[in-house]
Amino acid sequence: MSATPRALSLAKVAVDAAEDKVARDVVAIDVSDHLALTDIFVIASAGSERQVGAVVDEVEDRMRDIGAKPIRREGEREGRWVLIDFGDIVVHVQHEDEREYYQLERLWKDCPTLDLSGVQAPSAP
């Protein structure tokens, strides 16, 4: 099983939003073969707690614009690692230190990274 077209389009929106806020090392990982709860992890790094917040806000704003609402959000108080669960995708925005320490890509190394350059982002409803 691979990521659904809906998950791919949501991931495209999240990746573009993160990159627009100058997040670093933005990557999308197809975890659909290993997890039943979600299809894609989007992981992005930021250099400060303030930038983590800016990236999170932009991702949520863009997702809201296309009608996608988060199911849950965790880690906002500390501002070092915020997880936003949209069902089909889960977005992790991490301070660079947390990303280096936890190495999510290494944990999910058996899952393919996705090239979303050819994916069309959905338009607002």
Which CATH number does the domain housing residue 88 bear?
3.30.460.10
Residue 9 included in any domain: yes
Q: Closest Cα partner for 42 from 61, 55, 27, 59? A: 27
The tally of domains found in the chain comes to 1
Residue 123 included in any domain: no
Residue 116 included in any domain: no
pLDDT tens track for 43-84 = 999 999 999 999 999 999 999 999 999 999 999 777 899 999
All residues at 6 or more sequence positions from 81 whose CB lies less than 8 Å from its CB, including other chains? 52, 75, 92, 93, 94, 95, 98, 102
Q: Closest Cα partner for 55 from 15, 88, 9, 105? A: 15
Domain that holds residue 40: 5-107
Residue 121 included in any domain: no
The pTM of this model reads 0.94
Residue 33 included in any domain: yes
Asked if 70 and 10 count as a contact pair (C-beta separation under 8 A), the reply is no
pLDDT tens track for 20-49 = 999 999 999 999 999 989 999 999 999 999
Q: Distance of CA 97 to CAs 13, 47, 113, Å?
A: 25, 8, 22
Asked if 58 and 21 count as a contact pair (C-beta separation under 8 A), the reply is yes
Residue 81 included in any domain: yes
